[in-house]
Amino acid sequence: MNGPFVLPVRDIVRHPGEMREHEFTVTLSEAWGEGIVSFESGSKLDLDVRLESVHEGILVSGNAEGQYVGVCGRCLIDITRPVEVEFQELFAYPGEEETDFEVQDNHVDLETLVRDAAVLSLPFQPVCQPDCPGLDPQTGERLNENTETEQVAPIDPRWSALQNITDQDGTETSRAAEKEES
């Protein structure tokens, strides 16, 4: 059993209280994630892992750091953001407990554990900045780039009759101000 996420545990198997720590970098052989952001194939994940022997198996805990890439969900500009995710799982000894993770041939394979934690940490609606205004519904231009023209919100047709009243009030007010000045 080998691979970039496989760690040997032979020296701590069935020795409760023993612990090993590993720091390593993995280059992803395929993309992780399927939304508008993902971890690209070839990107690197830095892993800091602690393996602890317990009576039931090997407790794996740690964190992974990397970068996701994609597009802003509002303005569609390309974004790259760092992400750090923590994970923890018990790898049971074979035949002892019903779990999704088991110690196999004195090794633990962290790929599924790390992939699940990393992909679930990806934002569902990523944005380039917290207050990203998005795209203009009329022109399709990015609103944060188009600051030359004043953006006028469309008026709901049910309230359009009130627009005439406010226009009249504004004209009457300005006429009254002109009379006072003269």
pLDDT computed for residue 96 by the predictor: 72
Other beta carbons within 10 Å of 38: 18
What is the C-alpha to C-alpha distance for residues 121 and 68, in angstroms, rounded to an integer? 10
pLDDT computed for residue 129 by the predictor: 92
pTM of this prediction? Answer: 0.75
Q: What is the mean pLDDT of residues 70-92?
A: 95
Per residue in 20-77, pLDDT tens?
999 999 999 999 998 899 999 999 999 999 999 999 999 999 999 999 999 999 999 9
E-only strand ranges, the chain: 6-8, 19-27, 37-38, 44-54, 57-71, 78-92, 107-109
Question: What is the secondary structure of 101-143 as a DSSP string?
Answer: -B-BTTEEE-HHHHHHHHHHTS-SS--SSTT---B-TTT--BT
pLDDT computed for residue 160 by the predictor: 77
pLDDT computed for residue 177 by the predictor: 55
